[in-house]
Amino acid sequence: MTINRRNMMAGAGAGLAVLGLGRQATAQPRNPAWPRALNMGTAAPGGTYALYGPAWGQIVQEATGINISFRTTQGPNQNIILVQRREVELGMVTMGVALQAWNGEGAWTQGNKFRDIRALFPMYDTPFHGIALKRSGITQMSQLAGKNVGVGPRGGTPGTYFPLMLDRLGYKPATIRFGSGSDMSGQLQDGLLDAFLFASGVPIPAFSEAETQGEVNFLDFTAEDVTKLTQAFPELSAGTVAGSTYRTAGRDLRVVGMFNFAIGHKSLSDDLVYEMVKAVLSQNARLKQVIAAGSETLASNASKNTFLPFHPGAARYLREVGQTIPDNLVLA
């Protein structure tokens, strides 16, 4: 996993204008059998989902004529719960959280197996890293022992994994706080947090904002940390965030990460899912204009999913464009 330099959005408004997200479309499904509206679970402001979700949702809306609405959630964990219950039909997840959901592992699942979710298409890689104010003197993860640390929403990927990762590494914070990316960034600036750890598509909006407000240190992992984490959590992979990703990082960051996928409820019709996946994956250049992480939204990254069944409509399109999707990884 290597995260190359991404151009930051030239203002969210400019990017969203490319997709016409300022318009409220009238739902006129191109197929009368399709629903007039669908709901998508995204995440709180400050992370990538909050921007990425409306970006691909608008592409789908234009391709299908179905009105897509967006629900702010705590992230992947809650998105899975909501899709399982059909409170939303679409969502976004990291594959580590999806693996916990499928197997009913992890405290948040309460032993329940979420087997009505289906993979739609690959989104982008999520690297785990952090920031601290330069005046704190914190320059590495090992210094977080005994500190106040923020890790994003409790139901998000960093909120789920960072407490486990820090425990595995033996870096026990005094407190771990949860909240939106923007809230964590504000608490960091106010001195309520010593460090803010997050995982999202890069550049993480909240990190980029923080480095414009003051001097920060970027926190990554040692080679020994990476070995321990990838051995303890096989769903994580070693990688690098290029130093040029952030304006003031000054060096490449050694990270671990996991891939993100869009998901849908199994009840969505095959032809509708086919058209949705086709619309997103065939318009990568357009998606990248809005959200830098879209550069990894490629059919070739379907191989990043090795366990979560693809929706038959998604598998049909991926196979048409040359991807190998095993029969045992497709489930109606």
Q: What is the pLDDT of residue 20?
A: 52
Relative orientation angle of helices 49-64 and 12-19, to the nearest 10 degrees: 20
pTM of the complete model:
0.81
Q: Is the pLDDT of residue 287 over 70?
A: yes
**How do residues 59-82 score in pLDDT, each as one tens digit?**
999 999 999 999 999 999 999 999
Q: Is the pLDDT of residue 103 over 60?
A: yes
Q: Which of 13-17, 166-170, 230-234 has the lowest mean pLDDT?
A: 13-17
Q: What is the pLDDT of residue 15?
A: 47
Q: What is the pLDDT of residue 46?
A: 78
- The DSSP symbol for 140 reads S
**How do residues 196-210 score in pLDDT, each as one tens digit?**
999 988 889 899 999
Q: How far apart are CA 72 and CA 57, in angstroms?
A: 14
Q: What is the pLDDT of residue 156?
A: 87
The residue among 123 and 15 whose pLDDT is bigger is 123
% of the chain beyond a pLDDT of 70: 92
Q: What is the pLDDT of residue 188?
A: 96
200 C-beta neighbours (distance < 10 Å), count: 31
Question: Which residues touch 8 (CB under 8 Å, ≥6 apart)?
Answer: 203, 208, 292
Instruction: Please name the amino acid found at residue 166.
Output: L
Average confidence score pLDDT of the chain? 91
